[in-house]
Structure 1
Amino acid sequence: MTLGALGYVVLEDFTTLDAVYMAVITFATVGYNEVNTLSEAGKVFTIVFIIVNMGIFAYTVSVLSSFLFEGELRKVFKNLKSNRDLSKLTDHVIVCGYGKNGSKACEELLKDNKEFVIVESNEEVIRSLPEDKRYHFVIGNATLDEVLLEAGIENASTVITSLPEDSDNVFITLTARELNPLVKIIAKATEPSSEKKLYRAGASHVVMPDRLGGIHMANLITKPYVIEFLELINGVNDSKLVLEEVNHESLKEDYKNKTLRELDIRNKTGATIIAFKDDQLGFVFNPHSEKLVQDNDVLIVLGKAETIEKFKATFVA
């Protein structure tokens, strides 16, 4: 309308009020008479002005229709809700890259009810996420400081970076370590030479899926029953066995600073203590019944899902 009014002033020498009036009635297509008889140039300008306005109107209607009828409005509200929820998260996990490894990591985190945020640059990947899963997400390049800050890096407990390029994972590791010196960083590496670089950049753990896959396939031949047992405790093949870790600080007050014999976990819940993480000695497998559970110690508990739930209900605060 501003450009239309300006056109009438320039082409027809209308006053400002007359020019604005002409622009408004032309835009509104109400059919009032012209202020003055238009010249040939004025008529051509009016034709173009009407066609442009019709195009703008048609585009506006299509955009509003898509928002109302194609779910765009719901997606906008979903994004706003997700961003509001992100600001409340603490001790969450940031998963950089929703590819083969990232998506599997998210599934496992979801099973354990662990809060996490996905950082993905491909918006179509985010749009394809199931509606029934409580995924938080940030659309953007995870190598940028502002994107990690939006994902809550300052309050996060862990960063999983699983981008296809090792160089991107190194860069994310450097950035995350700078923004949060205490965060745990688990990085994926494809090339063996990238492993040392990731550790130098500040990674806490480096995972090489190809190497692990090769070792697993070889062990299926050389140690098939060991692998079968490991798959059972890792929840592969819909196993009902669950492996859980419990810190001494998580125990109820009545069960702190007690020996394993005094806790009597197996008789009370059916769960088994298969290992013990001692603050001084490290891991102790098949610990003695007189082993004292004290500050900073961790119990590694194995059992069926129902026995682990019973263990948590009985011993965990």
Structure 2
Amino acid sequence: MQIYRVDEPRLGALRVREWRHRARHALALLLLLLTVVATGLTLLDDSKAPLPTKVFHALWDGVNLVTTLGDFSDFDERQKFFMLAAMLATMLVAAFAISMLTGLLSGDDVMVYRENRAMERKLERLSDHVVVVGFHGLGETIAERLRAAGETVLVLAVDEAAANRASDRGHLVLLGARDVFDDVMRRAQLERAKAVIVTSPDANDNLVITLMARTMNPSLTIIVPGENDLRKTLLKTAGASEVVIAEDLLASAILDKLTLHTKVAP
């Protein structure tokens, strides 16, 4: 999936922060246990070895205990009793750590958080791309043809189904509801985009989006469909570079076909 959700659930970030907080606590407990074990083994070491050597051997045995490798040097009775207690403490700390950390990072909200962080890095590097607003009918066809021509396409969508469909087709996607669409536009890197093609089915949305895009990048190429000459004038005033009226195109295509058949008729 290549979807950035502007209105991402905050719970995902909270879960990740909580997991990191608990992981630090678990690590601190393990380090404390290692320190206690190393200190105890050093104090119980009656050999004639120098203190640094005793400390090193104690640390070695402590790390083996914490990592469950089990490679211990020969112990006397006191050291064995101490290590039994240390083993029990290690199992308790490990069980506590597992209970704290398990499951926190498996929720859908955490997956969304991770996906957003990965998409943020992609969006930061994005440039010379074509932004297609909407992925229904016209927008989907345009995005597919642009991608086939080798263009990098960023789709802006307001509903989950369209966003998933665009992502499945290999497009980068920004998803956000209408009430946060200004945030969607801000994250689309319009200052580095090649063009914006607005294909929303709502004429008023097209007008607003055109105005926002022109405000964000005064030199951007913006292409918008229009319903009539009045709407074309409004879109041009809002900043559209080109306004395409579907009925004009359809009429021209029909007349071209008529002319072609008339010329070749016997």
Q: Under a length normalisation based on structure 1, what TM-score does the superposition of the two structures give?
A: 0.45
Two-structure CA RMSD over aligned residues (Å) = 3.0
Distance 2:142 2:252 in 1: 20
Specify which structure has the higher proportion of strand. 1
Structure with more of its chain in helix, by fraction: 2
Match of 2:174 among 119, 133, 138: 138
- What is the number of equivalent residue pairs in this alignment? 161
- Residue 305 of structure 1 corresponds to which residue in structure 2? none
Aligned to 2:258: 221
Q: CA deviation at 1:129?
A: 3.2
Larger RCO of the pair (alpha carbons < 8 Å, separation 6+): 2
Q: Counterparts of 1:147 and 1:128 in 2: how far apart (Å)?
A: 18
The 5 Å alignment of 1:19-98 reads 67=108, 77-98=114-135
Residue 65 (structure 1) shift: 7.3
Cα shift readout 1:42-88 (whole Å, capped 9, x = no counterpart): xxxxxxxxxxxxxxxxxxx8x98774xxxx87666444433321111
- The CA deviation at 1:125 is 1.3
Identity %: 28
SS at match of 2:249: helix
| Residue 150 (structure 1) aligned with residue 193 (structure 2) | no
Cα distance in 2 between the residues matched to 1:169 and 1:89: 24
Deviation for aligned residue 1:156: 1.2
**Candidates 162, 173, 182, aligned match of 2:199:** 162
* Structure 2 counterpart of 1:207, one-letter code: V
Q: 1:142 & 1:199 partners in 2: Cα distance? A: 24
Q: Relative to 1, partners in 2 of residues 1:159 and 1:116: Cα closer, same or farther, differing over 3 Å?
A: same
Q: Is the 8 A contact 1:96 1:142 kept in 2?
A: no
Q: Distance in 2 between matches of 1:108 and 1:225?
A: 32
Cα deviation, residue 196, structure 1:
0.9
Taking the aligned partners of 1:142 and 1:216, their CA distance within structure 2 comes to 38
CA spacing shift, 1:225–1:145, aligned 2, 3 Å? farther
Q: Gaps spanning 5+ residues in structure 2: where?
A: 1-102
One-letter code of the match for 1:176?
Answer: A
Structure 1 residue identity aligned to 2:217: N
Give the secondary-structure state (helix, strand or coil) at the position aligned to 1:87: helix
**1:96 Cα deviation after fit:** 0.9
> Residue in 2 aligned with 1:8?
none
How far apart are residue 221 of structure 1 and its match? 2.2
Alignment of 1:183 with 2:220, yes or no, is yes
Residue of 211, 217, 231 corresponding to 1:194: 231
Deviation track 1:14-50 (CA, whole Å, cap 9, x = no partner) reads xxxxxxxxxxxxxxxxxxxxxxxxxxxxxxxxxxxxx
Once residues 259 and 115 of structure 2 are traced to their aligned partners in structure 1, the CA distance between those partners, rounded to angstroms, is 50
Q: TM-score, normalised by structure 2?
A: 0.53
1:144 deviates by 3.9
Name the SS for the 1:164 alignment partner: coil
Whether the 8 Å contact between 1:142 and 1:172 is mirrored in structure 2 is no
Deviations 1:154-191 (A, max 9, x none): 22121111111222111111111111111111111123
- 1:252 maps to none
Distance in 1 (CA, whole Å) between partners of 2:105 and 2:180 is: 35
Alignment-derived partner of residue 70 in structure 2: none
Looking at structure 2, the residues matched to 99 and 126 of structure 1 have their Cα atoms a distance apart, in angstroms, of 10
Q: Which amino acid aligns with 1:220?
A: K
- Is the contact between residue 189 and residue 207 of structure 1 (CA under 8 Å) also seen in structure 2? yes
> Measured at CA, do residues 219 and 106 of structure 1 come closer, stay the same or move farther in structure 2, by a change above 3 Å?
same
